[in-house]
Each structure stands twice: as structure tokens, then as C-alpha cells.
Amino acid sequence: MDMRRVVTWLSVSLFAAVAVAVWAAWTANLNEHNRLLANALEAERQRNFVDMVHHVEQIQALLGKGLATGSERQNMRYMADVHRHASAAMTAFSSLPLPTEVSSTTGKFLQQVGDFAYALLRDEAAGRSLTEAERAELQRLREAAAALKEQLGTMLTQYQRGGFRWHQPAQLSLRTLMRPPGRVLSDPAASGGPAAAALLDGGWAQLATSMEQMPTFIYNGPFSDHVNQTPPALSGPQLSREEAGGRLATALPDAAAYRVVDVVESGGNLPAYTFRLAPAGTRGSAYTATVSLTRQGGHLLEFLSGRVLGQPALDLEQARAVGQEYLARIGYADMVPTFAQIQDGVAFVAYVYQQGEVIVYPDQAKVKVALDNGEVLGVDARQYLTNHRRRTLPRPRLTPDEARSRLNPHLEVSRVQLALIPDAAGTGEVLTYEFQGKIGDEVYLVYINAETGAEEQILQLIVTDGGTFTL
């Protein structure tokens, strides 16, 4: 009997030892896998932050050159480069997991810089010289870019010295398994220690404050900031945090893949709840995605998720279809894809609202689609929610043939489409005919006023393997 007990005890002990060894090997392998994924994601975010600093430095230098040059031809070149660097800075900046109050204010400033440079480029190409008011605006932008460059450079240096990480690898252990739900052992956001935590709370907060103090820039551009000063007429009731959280299931591409870490509120033109998300099944306060829903109606305002990407398996047309289907699912119907680009395994696609036969360019949303599996990794619907409404559109006074007669006779037209675009002052909208055509090897979009026949705007289409751009 005693021998049986000994044998039983030895068997149980041996089984337990084997189980512990297997569990230890499994957790070690899982932790190593998490570490590799986290390091890859961390490297991407560090690279994007460094890229953003570089582009802001170039913007500040080019704006200074624009003020110094006496040649309109040279200034056109500088403004084209400012527009390009502003777009690249926005792309790098949008990938960083930052609080909404930081991303919205800094993103807005970068958008203003790019739009202002584009407006100057367009005016000088049409033979209009830089006015004193525009020169003063250019000087103010240069000073703001210099201040932003200085802040970002200081933060970058402190980050590198303090060992700051954007993303801390999740660690599985007995301690995490035994921890009661909701209890946080440490704050992974402060993985660089107290200095890094202070940088998060101080550096970015200071940056957001300084960007909020920037004045609204008024300029003759198609997407000027003052167009969106009137609060949009959103549908639906005012929601509490809990009610907005209940709408995540319909707003997210895959709600089951995430859990909510915390929620913050933001004001401004579109008050919203921003939910910080982590992968389902993980613990702790580190987050890898954010989603913002408007307080009124719970409409999707912004979504951004970061992960390591695999080899591309989808082409641009498939990515366009993914984004269009997703927008329709979350309630943004009748959206059609326009311009797009591919960068680092991701497709960035712009969609605009179509009312009847008219393309409504002010009602625009952008979607980021991973090309390895078609997952939606980002959405920016701020412009759509700010401008969208059911409009009573005028009937065009001119026929397509009458509008075509106002074109340069050398333009070989391949497509014509009714389009609503911002007017030249940036304060209203105008119904136009959009003609796509070629002169030689160059492709252009020409917008002819459907009522007066006046030429409203010309854009050049740049078609590359990575997508289609306008200038």
C-alpha cells in the first residue's frame, strides 16, 4: 500500500515536472516571438519618427529659401518640395500611436503647410506673383516650422538617451496569469523609465499646446482650414462613454481582435471619445491601436492600428475594393475611390462621396489597407464628417460639349465627369465638369464651371507603379 502511494506520488510529481517544463518552454518561445514582433514594430515606429523630424527640417529650410529667393521659378520649385515633404511628414506622423489631442493639432498644421505651399505653387504657375500678405503668411509658417523642428529634435535626442520604446513586448509569466483582472503591475508606456514617462506627458503635451496656439491660416487653397470652422450637422443623439463603447463592434474592422485599454475625450470641432486598444488576450496598458467615435451619433472619426506586415498579396484594385466595402459597412455609403498610393506594403486610398452623377470632392475619407491580407489598418473620416450633407445640387447650365469647347484644343479628352469642388476662395463649392485628358505624355484634370464655363482649376496627374498623385 505504501509502495503504491510512493509510485503514485512519483508519477504525479513526474507529470507535474514534465508539465512545468513544457509550459516553461512554450512560454519562453511565445515571449521570444512577442519580443521579435515588438522589436520589428518598434523599429518601424522609430524610423517613422526620425523620418518625420527629417521632413519637418526640410520644410523649415525650404520655406526660408522661398522667402529669400527673388525668382518665381525657383520659388515654385521650393513650394513643390514643401508640399512633398509635408505629405511625407503626415504619412510618417500618422503611423505613431499618439493621443488624439497631439495627432489632430500637429497633423492639422502639417496639412496647412502643404496646402499653403500648393496654393502658392498654383498661383505662381498661373503667373500671379507672391503678395505681401502671402509673404507674411509664409514667414509665420516658417517660424512655426522652426519651432516644431526644435521641439521634435529635442524630443528625439531625449528619446534616444532615455531608451524610450513606443511598444513594449508582452511577457507571459505566472505572475501575469495569477494577476486579478483589471490590475496593472506596471505601465508599459513608461518602458524607458521615469524619464520616458515624463517625455510622453511633457514633450507631446507641450507640442500639442504649441500647435493649438497656431493661428488659422487663410489662403487661396482648395482645402483651407477656415472652411471647416462651422460645426458639422451630425446625425444621432449625444452618447456617453459606455454607449459609444457599445458601437465599437460596428466601427472596427474586427472588434473581436481588440480589447479596450482606456478611453479619453477630446473637444474641438468634432468632440469624440478615443478608445485605446490592445490585442485581445493580452494584459497591461500598452496599446497598439486607437479609434475615435464622435460623441454625437458615435460616427467613426479616426482609426489607426499598427502591426508587422507580411509580403504583399493584394494589388491596388483589390485594396480599393476592400476600403470601399468597409466604408459602406460602417455607414459611409456611396463612396467611390479616387487617388491612391502604395508605400511599405500598405495602400492609402482616398474615397469621395457620389451624389447621383456628381462626385463631391469635399466629402472625402481616407483608408489604409494592408496588402498582405487586406486588413483595414487606418481610417481618416474627419473631412467627410465635417463636410458631408445631402445637397441640393444645381442643374448644369452648360452641356458637356459646351464645357468641352472651353478647353485647350490640344487636350485629348479621355473622360468627363460632373464634380463638386471647393471654390477658389475656399469658402464655398462650385459645380464643374471634370475633364481628364492628355497633352503629349502628360495627364491633366481640368475643371470647367458648369454654369459659367470658367476654368476653375487644373491638376496634373502623376501615374506611377506606386499609385496616382496630383500636382
Q: Tell the CATH topology of 400-470.
A: Nuclear Transport Factor 2; Chain: A, (3.10.450)
Question: In the structure, what pLDDT confidence band is assigned to residue 6 with cuts at 50, 70 and 90?
Answer: low
**pLDDT at position 84, please?**
87
Q: Which three cell numbers stand for residue 134?
A: 502671402
Task: Express each pLDDT in 299-335 by its tens digit.
Answer: 999 898 877 788 999 999 999 999 999 999 999 999 9
Residues pairing with 341 in the sheet: 348, 467
Q: What percent of the chain has pLDDT over 90?
A: 28
The Cα-based distances of 107 to 101, 247, 347 in angstroms read 10, 26, 20
Residue 209 predicted with pLDDT over 50: yes
User: Looking at residues 384-399, what average pLDDT do you find?
Assistant: 91
User: Looking at residues 439-459, what average pLDDT do you find?
Assistant: 91
Task: Express each pLDDT in 160-175 by its tens digit.
Answer: 666 566 655 555 554 5
Residue 443 predicted with pLDDT over 60: yes
Buried b (16+ CB within 10 A) or exposed e, 344-378: eebbbbbbbbbbeebbbbbbbbbbbbbbeebbbbb
Calpha distance 64→82 (Å, rounded)? 11
Residue 385 predicted with pLDDT over 70: yes
**pLDDT at position 11, please?**
64
Q: Regarding beta strands 467-470 and 335-343, do their DSSP bridges make them parallel or antiparallel, or are they unpaired? A: antiparallel
**pLDDT at position 340, please?**
85
Determine contact, residues 291/252, Cβ cutoff 8 Å: yes
Arithmetic mean of pLDDT over the chain? 77
**Separation of CA 446 from chain center:** 28
Task: Express each pLDDT in 85-125 by its tens digit.
Answer: 888 887 777 767 665 555 666 777 787 888 888 878 877 77
Among candidates 453, 5, 424, which has minimal Cα distance to 221?
A: 424
User: Looking at residues 394-406, what average pLDDT do you find?
Assistant: 95
Task: Express each pLDDT in 141-152 by its tens digit.
Answer: 888 888 888 888
Q: Select the more confidently predicted residue: 374 or 342.
A: 374
Residues pairing with 442 in the sheet: 439
**pLDDT at position 199, please?**
43
Q: Which three cell numbers stand for residue 161?
A: 538617451
Calpha distance 51→110 (Å, rounded)? 14
Q: Which range, of 123-137, 196-210, 267-281, 453-467, averages the lowest pLDDT?
A: 196-210
Residue 219 predicted with pLDDT over 50: no
**pLDDT at position 218, please?**
37
Question: In the structure, what pLDDT confidence band is assigned to residue 232 with cuts at 50, 70 and 90?
Answer: low
The backbone torsions φ and ψ at residue 111, rounded to the nearest 5 degrees and listed phi first, read -65, -40
Q: Which three cell numbers stand for residue 351?
A: 474615397
Residues of the chain with CATH 3.10.450: 400-470
Residue 180 predicted with pLDDT over 80: no
Calpha distance 255→87 (Å, rounded)? 30
Question: In the structure, what pLDDT confidence band is assigned to residue 233 with cuts at 50, 70 and 90?
Answer: low
Q: What's the CA angle centered on 170, arms 166 and 172, to 5 degrees?
A: 165
Among candidates 386, 378, 447, which has minimal Cα distance to 411?
A: 447
Q: Select the more confidently predicted residue: 103 or 296.
A: 296
**pLDDT at position 195, please?**
40
